[in-house]
Amino acid sequence: MDFRLTEEQQMVRETVRSFVKRELLPLEGEVLRNEREGKPGIERGQLRQLQLKAKELGFWGINTPEEYGGANLGPIMSAIVGIELAHTFVPFAFGGSADNILYYCNEEQKQRYLLPTISGERRSCFALTEPGAGSDAANIQMSAVKDGDHWVLNGEKVFITNGNEADFTMVFAVTDREKGAHGGVTCFLVDREMGWHSSYIPTMGEWGPASLYFENVRVPEKNILGELNQGFNLGMQWIGAGRWAIACRAIGAAERLLQMGIDYSKQRVTFGKPIADRQAIQWMLADSHVEIEATRWLALHAAWLAEEGEDTRHASSIAKLYGATMANRVVDRVLQIHGGMGYTKELPIERWYRELRLFRIFEGTDEIQHYIIARNLLRGHVRVEDGL
Ligand SMILES: Cc1cc2nc3c(=O)[nH]c(=O)nc-3n(C[C@H](O)[C@H](O)[C@H](O)COP(=O)(O)OP(=O)(O)OC[C@H]3O[C@@H](n4cnc5c(N)ncnc54)[C@H](O)[C@@H]3O)c2cc1C
């Protein structure tokens, strides 16, 4: 068992770390100002420029196969990269990527959806959740009814990330009501021009998802992604891929926040001593570090399972549950360490405080992760004494 990063992994980590320091950290003030004026943190054009700079360093298509021009670094490298990028709240992601399920496109669909998404010409969104079906995704009601060589879609989706900006959506609808999620849901690729529209949902975070409305939207049969009635599995594949990645983002944010807590506690003097000398503060710092390190190994282990082609579901749920709650505990402690200053908008802590709260909700709430973990134990899918 070797816990050290390989030389290549260390090199990638250092390169991303210096990219974040050089290119992203200087933008933080501007991002905060923009967001507080209700504008996007960075404009699409600026994001594109940054992505092209990163491309020169080889960071393009982190998870994209080489045949599509990607670096295809694999899950462990992605985890390492994800942790580093999360050291800043600047809303940046490397370019050259597409949703994992878009690789189910057939040759003709690849030209219209997969390739333009990888190149950044088109933007996608993943639309599963509905007003009456979030955690209980199997209960979606959006209907798709066959009419000649088209399907007619009716219904509403909510909380769709990028739903207001996307050029097309991967939307899930019921094509066989009797079977429902067990062989009766289909995923459709639907261009905005086909007739769906969206509205922005303001949230406590700095950006908002969207509601998507479908009223008799006619979608050609050739726009089915994957196979008819096999869409629910695609939806679960999309969600499953994100869970340990959220734990990585939690680690990066918590590392940066903890460092802020360490620095501030050494300089803030009360009753004649730096607050860092007080046990109450030291325990908050120590607990935070313990929990960050615990999350690191949970997330890297889940990434390693993915790299080995093994089932990651149980490990991902553990990493996501622990990571999401850890980051919320850490940001709360660091805000506390900063006292009144932590509560102001002068510092970005309050921004993280609001953003990290989402980690406990999307891609499976805390309660759903608990449910999955307990179900696997109770049904004997996982044996406690075998570890992960
Ligand atoms: C900012 C944001 C972005 C999102 N992006 C997307 C996206 O891009 N695409 C998409 O399809 N969806 C997206 N979602 C939706 C997200 O996945 C759902 O909000 C989430 O799955 C929870 O569903 P819900 O909101 O309907 O809550 P509900 O399912 O109604 O749950 C309400 C509460 O009850 C609890 N609960 C539910 N069932 C049980 C149970 N069986 N046992 C115990 N407790 C239970 C939940 O944990 C929660 O605390 C996004 C959500 C947000 C807020």
Is the pLDDT at 242 greater than 80? The verdict is: no
Q: Which residues form the pocket of ligand 1, taking CB atoms under 6 Å from any ligand atom?
A: 126-129, 134-136, 159-161, 203, 209, 358, 361-363, 365, 367-368, 371
Distance 138 CA to ligand 1 centre (A): 12
**What value does the mean pLDDT take over residues 359-377?**
97
Atom of ligand 1 lying closest to residue 161 CA: 8
Distance 209 CA to ligand 1 centre (A): 13
Phi, psi dihedrals of residue 190, rounded to the nearest 5°: -125, 115
Protein residue with its CA nearest to atom 29 in ligand 1? 135
Q: What is the 8-class DSSP label of residue 230? A: B
Protein residue with its CA nearest to atom 27 in ligand 1? 134
Mean pLDDT of the chain, nearest integer: 96
**What value does the mean pLDDT take over residues 29-47?**
92
CB atoms within 10 A of CB 307: 16
144 closest CA partner among 157, 161, 158, 125: 157
Residue 66 falls in the annotated catalytic set: no
Is the pLDDT at 2 greater than 80? The verdict is: yes
- pLDDT level of residue 245 (50, 70, 90 thresholds): very high
**What value does the mean pLDDT take over residues 109-123?**
97
Distance 136 CA to ligand 1 centre (A): 8
Is the pLDDT at 388 greater than 80? The verdict is: no
Q: What is the 8-class DSSP label of residue 137? A: G
Atom of ligand 1 lying closest to residue 128 CA: 11
Distance 360 CA to ligand 1 centre (A): 9
DSSP 120-183: TSS-EEEE--BTTBSS-GGG---EEEEETTEEEEEEEEEEETTTTT-SEEEEEEES-TTTTTTT
pLDDT digits (tens, 9 = 90+) for 176-188: 999 999 999 999 9
Mutate to test the pocket of ligand 1, among 124, 365, 367 (most ligand atoms within 8 A of CB): 365
CA distance 286 to 267: 18
**What value does the mean pLDDT take over residues 88-114?**
96
Give the global pTM: 0.96
pLDDT digits (tens, 9 = 90+) for 124-178: 999 999 999 999 999 999 999 999 999 999 999 999 999 999 999 999 999 999 9
**What value does the mean pLDDT take over residues 369-376?**
97
- Among the listed residues 66, 308, 363, 367, the single catalytic one is 363
Protein residue with its CA nearest to atom 12 in ligand 1? 129
Distance 388 CA to ligand 1 centre (A): 26
- pLDDT level of residue 386 (50, 70, 90 thresholds): confident
**What value does the mean pLDDT take over residues 197-218?**
94
Is the pLDDT at 1 greater than 90? The verdict is: no
